[in-house]
Amino acid sequence: MAAKAEPISLRPQSGARVKPDSLWRMALRRYRRHRMAMLGFFMLIGIMLYVVVGSFIFTENYANFNDTTQRLRPPSAAHPFGTDSIGRDVLARTIYGGQISLIIGVLAMLVSITMGTLIGALAGYFGGLLDAVLMRITEAIVSIPLILILLLMAKVLGGRLADIELFGRTFSGSVIVIVTIVGITSWTTLARIVRASFLSLKEMEFVTAARALGVPNWRIIAGHILPNTIAPIMVAATLGVAGAILQEAYISFFGLGVQAPTASWGNMLNGANQYLQSAPWLWFYPGLLLVFTVMSINFVGDGLRDALDPRGDKKL
């Protein structure tokens, strides 16, 4: 039975306050119209389900269990993604490896967003010598190729942290190392964006007004200016997760990242080129999941950028 259509009225209901759509509602609406962004969103949900539901099917012990009689078995019913060079199930390892990769992505993003926002805000708001020093450091980091500095720092910090017990699971201390080094090298772009918007926003009347009222500096920064720069920070945060996952993969590919038995998509690919021909399933599945995840996060990030910036003319 079809519901009777409401008569369309342009007049607001009497007594009801007309509330204009908030920025977030408008952004949400624009986001939902963005096809790629929605596709990315659902792909990401799929990945989340894969790593969460999967961990209820296979235990972590099973993922780390090695049976040397079952080395390098091609995909079969018992091991849909095959087994690795010491007889561990690749499917189960992609599930737990995915969790680690996603956790690293999110944590490293939090570190880099915090640093980028803080450094950009301080440099932009206070200017002068502080700005000059912070920006020279930013430029210095930008001028060194990321992969070289990541490998170097991984070598410096690698193996210095003990394993961590959390929620009854053991995480390799190298996870924290990776989060740290990815976090402290990837804040530069955001710092520059935040600094630029602070530079223009701090000259605006509402900041002058706040100053005249005697609002302390930190509250002007955090309460008055920062909310106006939230859009680029959110976009950078989303894309930052994708970047961090990729960087973890690079470091772990060279064997300097997450250490076994903890799996990550990156360290599952470590040494894979030795099995290029004999066991392609070793590197194919973790890599495919990695690409799928990074791509979906990139879609979401692009969608957010378009949704949060209505003036942006970036159309695909």
Instruction: Kindly list the residues in this chain that would bind another protein in the complex (CB under 8 A).
Output: 136-137, 139-145, 147-149, 151-153, 155-156, 242, 246, 249-250, 253-254, 269, 272-273, 276-277, 280, 283, 287, 290-291, 294-295, 298-299, 314, 316
CB of 283 to another protein, least distance (A): 5
HSE of 243 in the Cβ direction (CA atoms, 13 Å)? 24
CB of 144 to another protein, least distance (A): 5
Distances, alpha carbon 192 to alpha carbons 147, 172, 184, 281, 286, in Å: 21, 33, 15, 42, 34
Helix axes 35-57, 281-308, angle to 10 degrees: 140
CB of 23 to another protein, least distance (A): 26
If the CB atoms of residues 70 and 127 are measured against another protein, the closer one turns out to be 127
If the CB atoms of residues 224 and 305 are measured against another protein, the closer one turns out to be 305
CB of 308 to another protein, least distance (A): 19
Of 13, 281, 250, the C-alpha closest to 151 is 250
CB of 188 to another protein, least distance (A): 13
Listed as own residue / partner, the contacts of 73-80 with beta carbons closer than 8 Å and 24 or more positions apart are 74/279, 74/281, 75/281
Rounded-to-integer distance, Cα 248 and Cα 265, Å: 9
CB of 250 to another protein, least distance (A): 6
First to last CA, the chain: 40
If the CB atoms of residues 48 and 184 are measured against another protein, the closer one turns out to be 184
| 3-class secondary-structure state, position 169 | strand
If the CB atoms of residues 25 and 33 are measured against another protein, the closer one turns out to be 33
Rounded-to-integer distance, Cα 309 and Cα 25, Å: 13
If the CB atoms of residues 21 and 139 are measured against another protein, the closer one turns out to be 139
If the CB atoms of residues 152 and 222 are measured against another protein, the closer one turns out to be 152
